[in-house]
Amino acid sequence: KMSVASDSPVHSSSSDDLAAFLETELDSDSDSSSESFPIGQAHDDDDAQVSNHRLKRQKLEYPEDETENVASVTFSEEISEASSSKVPCEHPGTFGNMCFVCGQKVEVTGVSFGYIHKGFKLQQDEVTRLRDIDMKALQSQRKLCLVLDLDHTLLNSTVLRDLKPEEEYLKSHTHSLQDVSGGDIFMLEFMHMMTKLRPFVHSFLKEASTMFVMYIYTMGDRPYARQMAKLLDPKGEYFGERIISRDDGTMKHQKSLDVVLGKEKAVLILDDTENAWPGHKDNLIVIERYHFFASSCKQFDHRFQSLSQLKSDESEPDGVLSAVLKVLKQTHSLFFQDGGEDLSSRDVRSLLKQVRKEILKGCKLVFSRVFPTKCQAEDHPLWRVAEGLGATCATEVDASVTHVVAMDVGTEKVRWAIREKKFVVHRGWIDAANYLWKKQPEENFGLEQLKKQGTDDVIVEKLRDMVVDAYTLSNPNQVHEDVILKARDACYMAQFSFSTLM
Amino acid sequence: MKDVEGTCSGRHGFVVAITGIESVGNGLVRNGTAFVTFPVKYQCVVFRPFKGQILEAVVTLVNKAIWDSSEAGPVQIFVSKHLIPDDTEFQAGDMPNYTTSDGSVKIQKECVVRLKIIGTRVDATEIFCVGTIKDDFLGVINDPAAA
């Protein structure tokens, strides 16, 4: 039998009663306090009877145990009395499977917040309560919440074995991991990876942290997320413990704000993948993907060379992060403008829409041969996007029209536009405004640009034919015209993502 | 011996240190390898926190509006905001902390607090505890950054 000496109030001695008491304590659930009392009290009586004897024996060895023992017994009695007179506990959350307010074993339900502490779960009511507290704290600090994605948004990582020979030169340019400040490319041998931070990211984080409490939310695993946080935020001042990885998410392959302790109407999200946030599209700012490494381009089916192969990079002052920062600043100042106390009615989602509507404000667009004839023009996604950007859309030309959006030169509307000296642009002009949050010069999106596909023309033609065949097969009832339009659209969408690289 | 120190058993708690070996039994040769397994009876010091126990612990993590986590030797104790006195407020910043309304008491990382354990949960390898500092005589004992 093992003899036990421990810090607990129950001391070890050779008394049979005590041994029996210990056995019961160890065997029973430590959560249930009722079992120990009868034995404890019996022991107390016993103690009194043989107290003299025991004192003599133990004084030398365990001087403080006698008093400690008595004290612990009375103390335990107090606990049982106190807990029975308390208001029934609401069990707002659990740690392990214990309620962290009353310590009882409860059924484990609620949302898991593993990134805050292992085994920590909160009930929905408690989450709402905490979000309200958070909202007040944020408002007093004049801050909102910002959730940031990692891959292709703030940085680009590649596995070392996917490095192309032209990229080997990067190995000599990597920054030391001992002092990451000021560095932007890192070799992580122990993870077999190399990571490149997006240009402007340090300034971005610094400025954003004055306006937002920031979270990282990535589809990578927890060790990866922690390591990237160390590179972006070596002092831990931007993110703290607010690092959510796929191990902390509640759904596979999807992200959600349920594990973010901020009110939804005060949270903005920055991510390169729109479909990762199916429930929160209104909070989302979609950012252009950052492809530095060749392996990253390949993953998204690019045919152009990556930035690392071209030995170039995104522009710092004029790059994507800089543009997004401006949008964030605008939304933030709209939220806190007028400095009024009643900010509870403000919603960052509607403010984001408002900022977006400034982009193509004042433009009136007419589409020519862009939508399939059978489809209602107003329902087409492109029409919706244009309206979301603040433009007015129409189906017929008139004097107030400013732009004609077309894909072919030979249409009537295009000829009208040229006569009336109106702008003629292809749909990329709208898409670019959507991604870059800024109206683009119309000259860069003229129809002549469409033809300039360089050496890939032959491939494009072949691709187009393949897509047309595929569409014809799957839509046998559709008018041939419409099929061609759909096919051209699809080709176009695929190409557009390449052209923004330039 | 080193393998056992630092492990935790649900029944007995954390094995802190081995104090002596009582006996070593007969060895059994393991199938397939040349290793022999000996059953060893030993004495050791264990640490097993009980509900109602009062301990002193070092604060390791303070989190907004939720909790602080303290360590008492090998055990991590979780104290929720519900069980921190009502008049303390959370202050965010470089060193997040909980401060009383009159500013006299600050709970932050590296502080020593006296807390009471209100529940323990034991699984095969770890002991989880939930604690409170809301009762009399509990709270900060020593603040290394005290003014």
User: What tokens does A172 get?
Assistant: 């000599």
| A72 contacts in chain B (CB < 8 Å) | 52
User: What is the rounded distance in angstroms from the CA atom of residue B10 to the CA atom of residue B99?
Assistant: 36
Contacts with A228 (C-beta within 8 Å, 6 or more apart), sequence order: A150, A155, A157, A195, A216, A218, A220
User: What is the rounded distance in angstroms from the CA atom of residue A316 to the CA atom of residue B55?
Assistant: 54
Nearest to A500 by CA among A425, A432, A429, A424: A432
| pLDDT tens digits, B40-69 | 888 888 888 888 888 888 888 787 655 666
| pLDDT tens digits, A155-186 | 999 898 888 888 888 888 888 887 777 788 88
User: Are residues A30 and B51, on separate chains, in Cβ contact within 8 Å?
Assistant: yes
A76 touches chain B (CB under 8 A): yes
Write down the domain spans for chain B. Answer: 8-47, 54-146
Question: With contact defined as beta carbons under 8 Å apart, do B116 and B52 qualify?
Answer: yes
Report whether pLDDT(A467) > 70: no
| A33 contacts in chain B (CB < 8 Å) | 51-52
Report whether pLDDT(A366) > 70: yes
Residues of B with CB under 8 A from a CB of A: 11-13, 41, 43-53, 55, 61, 63-67, 69, 78-80, 82-83, 90, 92, 94, 96, 117-123, 128, 130
Report in angstroms the alpha-carbon separations of A367 from A92, A234, A483: 55, 50, 17
Angle A337-A343-A347 (CA atoms, 0-180°, nearest 5)?
90
User: What is the rounded distance in angstroms from the CA atom of residue A37 to the CA atom of residue A75?
Assistant: 11
User: What is the rounded distance in angstroms from the CA atom of residue A446 to the CA atom of residue A449?
Assistant: 6
A24 touches chain B (CB under 8 A): no
| A99 contacts in chain B (CB < 8 Å) | 119, 130
Q: What is the pLDDT of residue A461?
A: 64
Q: Is the ipTM of this complex over 0.85?
A: no
User: What tokens does A298 get?
Assistant: 């390949």
**Among A9-18, A344-353, B4-13, whose mean pLDDT is lowest?**
A9-18
User: Are residues A6 and B82, on separate chains, in Cβ contact within 8 Å?
Assistant: no
- Nearest CB among B13, B65, B80 relative to A133 is that of B65
The more confident residue out of A20 and A56 is A20
User: What is the rounded distance in angstroms from the CA atom of residue B83 to the CA atom of residue B67?
Assistant: 9
Provide the greatest CA pair distance for chain B: 69
Nearest chain A residue to B89 by CA: give it.
Answer: A137
Question: With contact defined as beta carbons under 8 Å apart, do A238 and A209 qualify?
Answer: yes
Right CATH number for B54-146 from 2.60.40.1220, 3.40.50.2300, 2.40.70.10, 2.40.50.140? 2.40.50.140
Tell me the residue type at A399.
A
User: Are residues B120 and A30, on separate chains, in Cβ contact within 8 Å?
Assistant: yes
